[in-house]
Amino acid sequence: MSQIRGKGSIVQLEKNKRKDRCRKWQIRISTGKSPSTGKYKTITRVVHGSFSFAQAELNNLINELENIPTYNSFEDPCFGEYAEHWLNKRKSRVSANTIAKNTDHIKNLNLHLRFAKLKEITPSMLECTYQDLLNGKSVSGRKLSGTFVASIACTASLIFKDAMSEGIILFNPCLKTSRPAIDTKERVAIRCDDMAFIIKNLEVCNPIQFGIRFILRTGLRVGEIAGLSLGDYNATDKTIYVHCNYDRFGNLKPTKTKAGTRELPLSDKAIDDLETYIAYLESSFADIRSRLNSESPVLSADAPLICNELGERFTPNYFTNFWRKKRIVLGFDHINLHDLRHSFISELARRKVDPKSLQKIAGHSNISTTLNIYTHVDLEDKRNAIRSVDW
């Protein structure tokens, strides 16, 4: 059990806003002096929401830390119970999205290793587990990809590494275990005619469908689309400012990398879509205020751009679930939502937009990601050229 000192504190990170308008906070908890290093340790976490929400998250974090058991005196845990202990410790250090992925990984590992003693797990046992997951002995009952099982192996390695640091095991068996090969399929890019066809079959005055149209016109990620606010649109300069990401847990966060924060000029058709949609939103909000005899929702700079009739954001799952159904109707079963972003970027590359500009537009933190798209597009064009003279 962690030794909590005091009741913790909350620091306002948006210094230029009033406390009741601030939506970004850092919660801090002191756990006292570490006996091993002699230094004072403070656990911090950034949260997005109202001050009341930040207070609730602070209380949740205190409860998590106070209820985490230690295994220093527990000599021989099973994999399942130690994995749960490891996950609880991790909750105070990583995002909810990472915890969800780790939880999914542990569920699949527990299917085969839950009751195995941590000390008795060998590299061959792990390799058999990975092979079983590849063959369909998984939580979902389906064969897992090599890429996904490789990520499960990464989580397993972290768990065993932590057990070593607590003195429970002397060796990490993952170090002598072969991980499955990465087998992620290459992104599929559709041509501009297909993108135009999809746009034609999506309604601009439907929030979810407008969001997918906007991906096809801007190349934004779905989390970036969901994180846009009305104030991010500069009607004078005809640009959209991308600086937030909205995750599947309902957290509005800064973009993952510095490169993700960017200002994008909009095409004429993207502007037409956007202004038509905003006019629809204004009319819809007025109707709701009239029907509910309420002062909200209203259009404001902080209001979500893509939202339901009450002005609440849609999480990325709404867009993904809609597209899974719509793509079948349109005949694009093999195209996932992120492929639409990839298609937009690929089309710019095909039109010889220089790599540095394309990197800025796409929000890639690494130029190699952008250059890989160029290589693929050039190869495709070369193939088409060779086919044209295949006599």
Q: Is CATH 3.30.420.40 what the domain over 75-184 is classified as, yes or no?
A: no
**H/E stretch holding 379:** helix 367-388
pLDDT digits over 297-342, tens only?
Answer: 999 999 999 999 999 999 999 999 999 999 999 999 999 999 999 9
**Structure-token pair, residue 52:** 């009341």
Contacts for 143 with CB less than 8 Å, ≥ 6 apart: 134, 135, 136
Q: Among candidates 230, 200, 221, which has minimal Cα distance to 319?
A: 221
Query: Once rounded to an integer, what is the mean pLDDT over residues 47-72?
Result: 73
Q: What is the DSSP string of 75-102?
A: ---BHHHHHHHHHHHHTTTS-HHHHHHH
pLDDT digits over 31-41, tens only?
Answer: 766 554 566 67
Mean pLDDT taken over the chain: 89
Confidence of residue 68 (pLDDT cuts 50, 70, 90): low
**Structure-token pair, residue 166:** 């607590």
pLDDT digits over 371-390, tens only?
Answer: 888 877 877 776 776 676 65
Residues 12 and 18: beta-carbon distance below 8 Å: no
pLDDT at position 347 is 93
pLDDT at position 297 is 93
**Does the pLDDT of residue 173 top 90, yes or no?**
yes
CATH of 192-388, one of 1.10.443.10, 2.30.110.10, 2.40.10.220, 1.10.10.60: 1.10.443.10
Confidence of residue 125 (pLDDT cuts 50, 70, 90): very high
Alpha-helical (H) ranges within 201-336 are 207-218, 222-227, 268-292, 316-330
What is the SS3 string spanning 329-360? Answer: HHCCCCCCHHHHHHHHHHHHHHCCCCHHHHHH
Total-model pTM: 0.73
Residues 228 and 242: beta-carbon distance below 8 Å: yes
Query: Once rounded to an integer, what is the mean pLDDT over residues 99-111?
Result: 95
Residues 238 and 307: beta-carbon distance below 8 Å: no
Query: Could you tell me the CA-to-CA distances from 179 to 120, 130, 173, 175, 266 in Å, in that order?
Result: 19, 8, 12, 10, 44
Give Cα 246 distance to the centre of its chain.
8
Query: Once rounded to an integer, what is the mean pLDDT over residues 121-133?
Result: 96
**Structure-token pair, residue 240:** 């959209």
**Structure-token pair, residue 257:** 């990398």
